[in-house]
Structure 1
Amino acid sequence: MWSQKKKVLMAMVTLGLAAALIRSWTPRPYNSVDVRPKQETKMEKLLEDRLLLSEHKYDDIPYRVKESVLGLLARNGCVCEGETRSINLPYAHLLFPRVSAQNLHTAFKVSELEEVKRRRAQEYHSFQMRSQTSADLLIVAEANSPLQYPTQGVEVRPLKTILVPGLALKEKTRERYTVNLTATMGTFDIAAFVDDVTMKGEGEMQMALSSRYLSALNRQLQFVTYTNTLFHPNTADTVQFVTDGHQSFFTVKVRHGVTPKLYNPGPKEEYNVSALVTIATKTFLRYDKLQDLIDSIRQFYPTITIVIADDNEHPKPVIGPYIEHYTMPFGKGWFAGRNLAVSQVTTKYVLWVDDDFIFTANTKLEKLVDVLESTTVDLVGGAVREVTGYTASYRQTFSLEQGGEEGDCLHIRRGFHHAIKGFPNCVVADGVVNFFLARTDKVQQVGFDPRLARVAHLEFFIDGLGVLHVASCDDVVVNHASKIKLPWGQSESDRAYYKFRYPPSSSDTAQTRSSLFYFKNRFQCLTHN
């Protein structure tokens, strides 16, 4: 009788776990989002009601906090907290992944931490000085001001001249109308004269215009020019625009035009993958698997270029048509090899693959090319099928939470943001599997940190946060060669590879990773599930 009760109890537990697993696999109700490039349209209607920032102006008016909205605001004091195990059942860690937290300052000795913090703060300050300009300052146009001026969108090339658009005065009747313009990185002048307008300071950093007639003054303001006189390739000047009792500010961006990097894709009837895509990989002690990869690629893409970075101690020749084999110093590392391989790519797109992948009929690169050609996405991952039959795309989302002087918090979660309209098998995420097609210039812009020698992947996507627009499509699949090797079936190269690939726990790999997160990325901690 007791045995039967135990069976019923076990069956109920199993059904409960199965239901939870099915629920965790249920697709989330995301709406698809159109990420296709939009044609240039008219500026959307500006919001009519704008919140004015006035310090202490309305302190005497009481207010009630709306907690649901207050909790969404940035607090500049992030906290990383892990989860405790709430369910103690077999395989619970697979069905209910626990969020863990890691404080990254522990990568350094206590005795050196304060000095590391000081250097990190100094480097961060230098970074802010390099990357921030006056255009980042919040400038609010005061309501009911008689001054009309551009709030954004004014741009001039270094040491060049433009007409300043949108300047005007909307003033009540008075005897004389006067405005003043002041800059710090350029001078003002006029492109044409208007009668009955008096000017002072032409060709100088401060210019005054006045007239008895408002219409004449406004006509003259249409011809005001700004000339940049202090060279900087990418900065901004803050211009002060003043009349009696009123002042306003607007920015003039000073920067070179962006030089495009264009690729000729050839005729557009269909995608010529060999002309658009280069396959890049890094190999180490696995020439047999590398040859299997090459053979599988040639079965479906006989003329596509394959770039191989090789840091073996005794490199073997890898020859064949459309193969570029580059050797490196011994054991130089995973990300260093990625940098080398990607640096030699001359096509519009680069496909990254591991050297133990196998192409099949489901490895349709044309589908990935179509996503990149049809959307604003920079990088799109596929899926990897293991020998067990399990197929994974390893989609991750990142959230960077501001944390004040101690650094920021990085939160990594499994999942994706939303589906992509027009591509039913594709979603937008922040990190994807180690099989992806990307715009070559974008990958080169982010780069791979060569200090990550043996274990690394998501670090590339973390460095690319804010630069890369990432997607994932689970209908383009590459096979993964078996990693299962019985001890008596392992070759000498297999044993050497696993020694490098899976270093002992005493290795400094984890410390290096944490120290880079802490100092280079200015994180105080990270959480992930």
Structure 2
Amino acid sequence: MSQPRVTIVISPRERFSFTQQNLESIYDHTQTPFELIYVDGGSPAPIQHYLQTQAHSKGFKLIRSEQYLAPNQARNLAIPQIKTEYLLFVDNDVLVSPAWLDRLVQCADETGASVVCPLTCIGKTVNDTIHLAGGEAHIYEEPLEDGSVARKVHEKHYFVNRPVAEVKDQLHRQQCEFAEFHCMLVRTEIFARIGLLDEGFLSTREHIDFCMSVANVGGTLYCEPDSVVTYVPELPLNWADVSFFLLRWSDAWEMSSLEHFQTKWNLTQKDKYFKKRYKRLGHRRHHAFLRPLVRQMPFGKDNAWLEQQAIKLERVVNRWITKRYANKYSNQTSIPHDVIDSIYATDTEYELVKARR
């Protein structure tokens, strides 16, 4: 058997309960030789035991942390151990399709790309609805009336939320400006030029930061739609899922990430790009977790008052989870209590339930 050219790095995205489906999908649909490193950040005992058993039987490397990990922190634990030409980041809530890896490597070989992403779909129906088919992400400068210059972000997803069948004829290999960490193949040598992933991004904008960093050193990015994977979002199923999900998308982690992005790239903070994202703090928690939960309650469906009360209660829980993590783990993913308190000081946006529909 030929030597593997790729090391697959799996890490938790926002929950643990899809771990088995994800791992089985990769082993069932990957024929080309590969090495695998699994970074397990604080999964509950049953998942931890499952991963230990699978690591022993399949021979992959398991890195275990007892604390929840921010995405880039998890990936950085694996990067220094990569010995292969390529590494492939994939989240633990993704299903892959036959020949997915072969086609990504083929694209990188033929184009010389530093990063290649597949056609990434979303939903419980596999390969049906597009989440990402490449996109645009760069900084541009806009002159202002006072003679100063505003630095802004241009970001665009191609074919987002479109049925694959509807745009199939328009999908073809193309150079693009960003990929997402749901699944991306990376030429390992790029890290010698840009360093490890920036752990200042706790929950958001880490993919934009990485892709712009690659472009800044002359690297290229491609989307290869002949390779298809599907990100499968679901309601968190247990306390370990819920607590990790709420921390991962906490107001504190999102706000910290956005501020870090603005400072690092010297971007205009009052730009609509940031205003939109500040206004949507908590959006993922409310739409992916809280609203489905409320609608399962008696009289919960379309009950705006009940949803308002649930939002207020969830913010209290979210603040507690964030501060508890900061107390327990003194590292760079912890945020000082005074900063956390200031972020949760107002609930004006969270009163506007109808604006979130």
Please confirm whether the aligned pair reaches a TM-score higher than 0.5, indicating the same fold.
yes
Report the identity percentage: 17
- Residue 239 of structure 2, aligned match among 478, 492, 495: 492
1:318-348 residue CA offsets vs partner (Å, 9 max, x unmatched)? 2232311112351231111111122222110
SS of residue matched to 2:11: strand
Match of 1:399? 138
Match of 2:186? 438
- Residue 409 of structure 1, aligned match among 125, 135, 152: 152
Q: CA deviation at 1:312?
A: 0.4
Match of 1:301? 30
Distance 1:512 1:482, change over 3 A: closer
SS of residue matched to 2:178: coil
Match of 1:428? 175
Q: How does 1:62-101 map to 2 (within 5 A)?
A: none
Which amino acid counterpart does residue 215 of structure 2 have in structure 1? L
Q: CA deviation at 1:287?
A: 4.4
8 Å CA contact 2:14–2:245 kept in 1: the answer is: no
- Residue 19 of structure 2, aligned match among 290, 306, 312: 290
Q: CA deviation at 1:284?
A: 6.7
Distance 1:285 1:412, change over 3 A: closer
Match of 2:220? 469
Match of 1:127? none
Task: Write the distance in 2 (CA, Å) between the matches of 1:517 and 1:287.
Answer: 27
Which amino acid counterpart does residue 524 of structure 1 have in structure 2? T
Distance 1:436 1:522, change over 3 A: same
SS of residue matched to 1:382: strand
Q: How does 1:179-218 map to 2 (within 5 A)?
A: none
Task: Write the distance in 1 (CA, Å) between the matches of 2:69 and 2:63.
Answer: 13
8 Å CA contact 1:334–1:453 kept in 2: the answer is: yes
8 Å CA contact 2:87–2:188 kept in 1: the answer is: yes
- Residue 115 of structure 2, aligned match among 361, 372, 379: 379
1:422-469 residue CA offsets vs partner (Å, 9 max, x unmatched)? xx8211111123311120121464332112223343232233332331
- Residue 261 of structure 2, aligned match among 506, 509, 517: 517
Which amino acid counterpart does residue 494 of structure 1 have in structure 2? D
User: What is the TM-score when the length of structure 1 is the normalising length?
Assistant: 0.41
SS of residue matched to 2:74: helix
Q: Is residue 7 of structure 2 the alignment partner of residue 278 of structure 1?
A: yes
Gaps in structure 2 of 5+ consecutive residues: 160-170, 277-357
Which amino acid counterpart does residue 60 of structure 2 have in structure 1? I
Match of 2:168? none
Task: Write the distance in 1 (CA, Å) between the matches of 2:142 and 2:14.
Answer: 43
Q: Which has the higher helix share?
A: 2
Q: Is residue 107 of structure 2 the alignment partner of residue 368 of structure 1?
A: no
Gaps in structure 1 of 5+ consecutive residues: 1-265, 267-271, 417-423
Task: Write the distance in 1 (CA, Å) between the matches of 2:135 and 2:252.
Answer: 26
Q: Larger radius of gyration, structure 1 or 2?
A: 1
SS of residue matched to 1:512: helix
SS of residue matched to 2:245: helix
Q: CA deviation at 1:286?
A: 4.5
8 Å CA contact 1:343–1:444 kept in 2: the answer is: no
Q: Is residue 200 of structure 2 the alignment partner of residue 451 of structure 1?
A: yes
SS of residue matched to 2:104: helix
User: What is the TM-score when the length of structure 2 is the normalising length?
Assistant: 0.60
Which amino acid counterpart does residue 377 of structure 1 have in structure 2? A
Which amino acid counterpart does residue 496 of structure 1 have in structure 2? S
Which amino acid counterpart does residue 36 of structure 2 have in structure 1? I
